[in-house]
Structure 1
Amino acid sequence: MFEHIDFNYLLANYGYWAIFIGCLLEGETILILGGLAAHQHVLEWQQVLIYATLGGMLGDQILFWTGRHFGPRLLPRLHRQQATIDRVSDLIKRYPTASIFGVRFLYGMRLIGPLVIGASRLSPVRFALINLLGAAVWASLFLAAGYWAGGFLEEMLGNLKPYRLPIFIGVIVVGAGVALYRHRRAKTRPARQAAKRAKDKPPSSAA
């Protein structure tokens, strides 16, 4: 099925843009794939890092400005995300700088976090500078993970060129499976927390 696909051509011509768009949206899986491609010298790791950093930063900047202009009207409608909104709001009040830097590393806060930070009226310049630093660190970590995975697989399998497409598809499938699991876990978390609170609540004394 895949023998007619020139995978190296697709990576060389569209790989950087795929990384940029992927990191604009979320990015961890596509960035690991970029690290694998960099290890195989199909892509340059420096350019992967640049495209990933810019994509990750731009995505959060868009969310920040969306929150700044529409947050007061938008956030009250996100009832299912209320626990995350409250958590990010608390982080901003206590650790404003750390919350900007760290929100992209916390699952479930990557999209909501910048919206809430924008709505909090934090300085746009401050957000942009720390956001750039956070995006660069985030991109470096996942790029390094993909590069390391490429070295590990090469030790296991030898020349990876015949296996590149199956490996890339496998990473995407695993990434999608992990994302689905975390999404379902996040959806059931409020019910688990409510059940735990009900269990821990002391019984009311009889009149």
Structure 2
Amino acid sequence: MFEHIDFTYLLASYGYWAIFIGCLLEGETILILGGVAAHQGVLQLWTVIFWASLGGMLGDQLLFWAGRFFGARLLPRLHRQQAAIDRVTGLIVRHPLVSVFSVRFLYGMRLVGPLVIGASGLSPLRFSLINLFGAVVWATLFASGGYWAGEFLEQVFGNLKPYRLPIAVGVVLLMAGIALVRHLVARRKARRSDAKLPDHPTQ
């Protein structure tokens, strides 16, 4: 089924674009794949880190400005994200600068976090500087993780070139499975929190 797909050509031609666009949103899965591809010599590790850093930084910057201009109207509508909003709000109150750096590493905070920070009134210059630093650290960690995962797999299985596509699919499925489990756990916690809320008396 996959024997006619030139995975090397696809990665070399569109890999950096895929990493940049993917990192505008969440990006961890595509970034790990980029690290694996860098280990195989299809992509360059530092170029992967550059485009991932740029995409991650720009994505959070857009969300920050959206929160700054529209947060007062937008955040009250995100009822399902209320737990994450409260968590980020508490983090901003206690450690405003740490919150900018850390939200991209916290599950469920990547999209909501910059919105809340933007609505909090934090200085755009401060946010931009720390956001850039955080994006570079984030991209370096995940891309390097993918690179060393490729090194480990090659030591175990030998030459990985014939198996690039199955490995990519496997990584995607693994990350999707982890995300699904986390989503189900967060959903169960949200249901328990709703069940603990006192009922409003009827008028």
Query: 1:154 aligns to what?
Result: 154
TM superposition score normalised by structure 1:
0.92
Q: Once the two structures are superposed, what CA deviation does each residue of 1:23-72 show, in whole Å capped at 9, x if it has no partner?
A: 11101111000000000010001100000000000110010010001000
Report deviation, 1:74. 0.5
Report deviation, 1:195. 5.9
Query: 1:112 aligns to what?
Result: 112
Report deviation, 1:196. 7.5
Cα distance change on mapping 1:193 and 1:155 into 2, 3 Å: same
Q: Distance in 1 between matches of 2:194 and 2:81?
A: 15
| Aligned positions of 1:162-173 closer than 5 A | 162-173=162-173
Query: 1:204 aligns to what?
Result: none
Structure 1 position 12 matched with structure 2 position 12? yes
Q: Secondary structure at the match of 1:42?
A: coil
Query: 2:44 aligns to what?
Result: 44
| Aligned positions of 1:78-117 closer than 5 A | 78-117=78-117
Q: Secondary structure at the match of 2:101?
A: helix
Overall identity of the aligned pairs, in %: 71
Structure 1 position 65 matched with structure 2 position 65? yes
Q: Distance in 1 between matches of 2:197 and 2:147?
A: 44
Query: 1:56 aligns to what?
Result: 56
Report deviation, 1:22. 0.7
Larger radius of gyration: 1
Q: Secondary structure at the match of 2:109?
A: coil
| Aligned positions of 1:115-194 closer than 5 A | 115-193=115-193
Q: Secondary structure at the match of 1:122?
A: coil
Equivalent position amino acid for 1:67 in 2: G
The number of equivalent residue pairs is 198
Consecutive unaligned residues in structure 1, runs of 5 or more: 199-207
Report deviation, 1:191. 2.2
Equivalent position amino acid for 1:2 in 2: F
Q: Once the two structures are superposed, what CA deviation does each residue of 1:102-128 show, in whole Å capped at 9, x if it has no partner?
A: 010010111100000000011011000
Q: Distance in 1 between matches of 2:29 and 2:158?
A: 23
Report deviation, 1:193. 4.1
Q: Once the two structures are superposed, what CA deviation does each residue of 1:61-112 show, in whole Å capped at 9, x if it has no partner?
A: 0100100010000001111111111111111111000000001001011110
